[in-house]
Amino acid sequence: MVTPSRQPARRVVIASSHPLFGQGLRNLLKERHATGVEVVGMVTNLEEAISALERLSPDLIIVDYDDQALNRDEFLARFVEGEKKLRVVLLSLQSAGEAIIYDRRTLAASQIDDWLDEWTRAWPREQSQIEEPAAGQKRLLFKGGRSFFDQDRTKPNNQNRRTDMKHLVIAALLVLAVTALLIVGLDQVRLLPVSASAQAEPIDALFRLEFRVIAFLFSLIVVFMLYSIIVFRRKKGDDTDAVHIEGNSRLEVIWTVAPLLTVLYFAYLGGQSLAETVRPEPRPLEVNVIGTQWSWRFEYPEYGFASTELVLPVNKQALLHLSSTDVIHSFWVPEFRVKQDALPGGEEFIRDLRITPTIEGDYKVRCAELCGIQHAYMLADVRVLSQDEFEVWVAESSGVSDDPVERGRVWAEQYGCLACHSVDGTPLVGPTWLGVYGSQETLADGTTVTVDDAYLHESIVEPGAKIVQGFPNVMPENIADQMTEEQIQDIIAFIQSLR
């Protein structure tokens, strides 16, 4: 009977002055490689290591790179002087057990300094001089799974690939299922207010697509995380180390390029949506929108009047010219989706906004830019009417009353006076107008003044000339530039009537 020959075990010497390192590595080699590896010696200093190279004729010597007692630089200098086919492994526990190999058969002695310097700067660094073992040969594990003495793992690797593919398919199906459920759920919830303008349609379409992408990304992250926690959790009684994974360059490229392309695609869609919101239509209704702390005024130059509410005909584009008398405001009707800042500074800073209402109803203008104390209350009514109703409203609003008090009340509303001055005694940002005419007011400098026509006229034309004690100077300095002298006198008459 002929007994088949068995390949001799690889002879290994371990060099370390730390008992835990040496014994631990020896036990690990014995446990993982059985008869494929034979530890023929354990040395603790430089001289023992050099002697072991000649005396024990090892195939491999493993050096504790963190052990200063070995004088590793001197050892490597002595090691490369020999001529035997031998490899040395430098192993560092501080770098998660990774290793680097020097092969005396492929590197000259003159190269060791450059090799060691390069490796020290970028630990760990795997060398390319490692030879692949013959089929069936065992290799010593290093670098998280690739090694000298492992068994030929062609079949197990194929099996691992099939198992990995099965997990990937299951996780992918779960991601798709959760994404579908989230999309259905999001469709049942009103995340946005009603869409009431033509400009809202492309914006909402972009929002819907973004919500679906967000649902997919949420599912991708959460499903893979939970699947890994549940399926790949450590089993009871398992105290082995996990497999060390170095990374995957292909995946890194994919998850860098894919988000970049997605963002660029959404930027393209955003540009298209923006173009749709500013597309002009023939003969739009022009409205001047003026923001003032803390009210809105809407002028209809085509009809020659102004209003404190924005009234628009349905299915007809309105071209809004936005400006401000004091600070930056921002015109925003959520149901119309679009918004635009109203800037101070005159005609050169006027900004345009196009709106085509599509649903009749009542809405609210809100200021979307923090603009002072009463910012939260800077609201105005918006009404979308049929064309016939809009023409009736225009006819009613175009008439001017013969009563100066009534006219003064209208001007006070339109120019935002009532946003700061109440007419019922309620304290606001400015003094109440109720009963103020003819009274004595104490000013900020301690003097007193009688509230008469001259004082009221001066307070409108030069708001900062005399400030009532206890109130801030927030009245726009150029408010009188927007009024006629007749309108100023009408406001004074209105104040006189509030007794």
Over the stretch 252-284, which tens digit does the pLDDT of each residue have? 899 899 999 999 999 999 999 998 888 988 889
Q: What is the pLDDT of residue 354?
A: 94
CA distance 440 to 455: 11
Nearest CA among 203, 319, 335, 339 for reference residue 271 = 203
Q: Which of 110-119, 362-371, 391-400, 401-410 has the lowest mean pLDDT?
A: 110-119
Is residue 306 very low, low, confident or very high in pLDDT (cuts 50, 70, 90)?
confident
Phi, psi of 195 (to 5 degrees): -85, 115
CATH entry 3.40.30.10 includes domain 285-398: no
Report whether 401 contacts 329 (CB < 8 A). Answer: no
Tokens of 438: 């003819």
CA distance 496 to 153: 100
CA angle in degrees (0–180, nearest 5) for 124-129-133:
105
Report whether 168 contacts 175 (CB < 8 A). Answer: no
Q: What is the pLDDT of residue 158?
A: 67
Nearest CA among 320, 312, 329 for reference residue 382 = 312
Distance of CA 280 to the CA centre of its chain: 33
Q: Which of 83-87, 130-134, 318-322 has the lowest mean pLDDT?
A: 130-134
Beta-bridge partners for 280 = none
Q: What is the pLDDT of residue 184?
A: 92
pTM over 0.85: no
Q: How far apart are the first and last CA of the chain?
A: 129
Is residue 31 very low, low, confident or very high in pLDDT (cuts 50, 70, 90)?
low
How many residues does this entry show for the chain? 499
CATH entry 3.40.50.2300 includes domain 10-145: yes
- Beta-strand pair 329-332/339-342: antiparallel
Task: Enumerate the CATH 2.60.40.420 domain ranges in the chain, comma separated.
Answer: 285-398
Q: What number is the average pLDDT over the span 408-422?
A: 82
Tokens of 286: 């022009």
Q: What is the pLDDT of residue 41?
A: 83
Kindly give the residue spans of alpha helices, DSSP state H, lying in 189-293: 200-231, 249-277
Q: What number is the average pLDDT over the span 187-195?
A: 87
Strand, coil or helix: 398: helix
pLDDT tens sequence across 95-150: 544 555 555 545 444 444 554 454 444 444 333 333 443 433 333 333 333 333 34
Q: What is the pLDDT of residue 130?
A: 37
Is residue 157 very low, low, confident or very high in pLDDT (cuts 50, 70, 90)?
low
Task: Enumerate the CATH 1.10.760.10 domain ranges in the chain, comma separated.
Answer: 404-496
What is the residue-averaged pLDDT of the chain?
Answer: 79
List own/partner pairs for 72-76 with CB under 8 A and 24 or more apart: 73/116, 74/46, 75/15, 75/46, 75/49, 75/50, 76/102, 76/112, 76/116
CA angle in degrees (0–180, nearest 5) for 241-8-155:
50
Nearest CA among 27, 45, 486 for reference residue 12 = 27
Q: What is the pLDDT of residue 266?
A: 93
Homologous superfamily (CATH) for 404-496: Cytochrome c-like domain (1.10.760.10)
Q: What is the pLDDT of residue 57?
A: 77
* DSSP one-letter string for 145-184: G-BSSPPP-HHHHHHHHHHHHHHHHHHHHHHHHHHHHHHH
Task: Enumerate the CATH 3.40.50.2300 domain ranges in the chain, comma separated.
Answer: 10-145
Q: Which of 29-43, 92-106, 422-436 has the lowest mean pLDDT?
A: 92-106
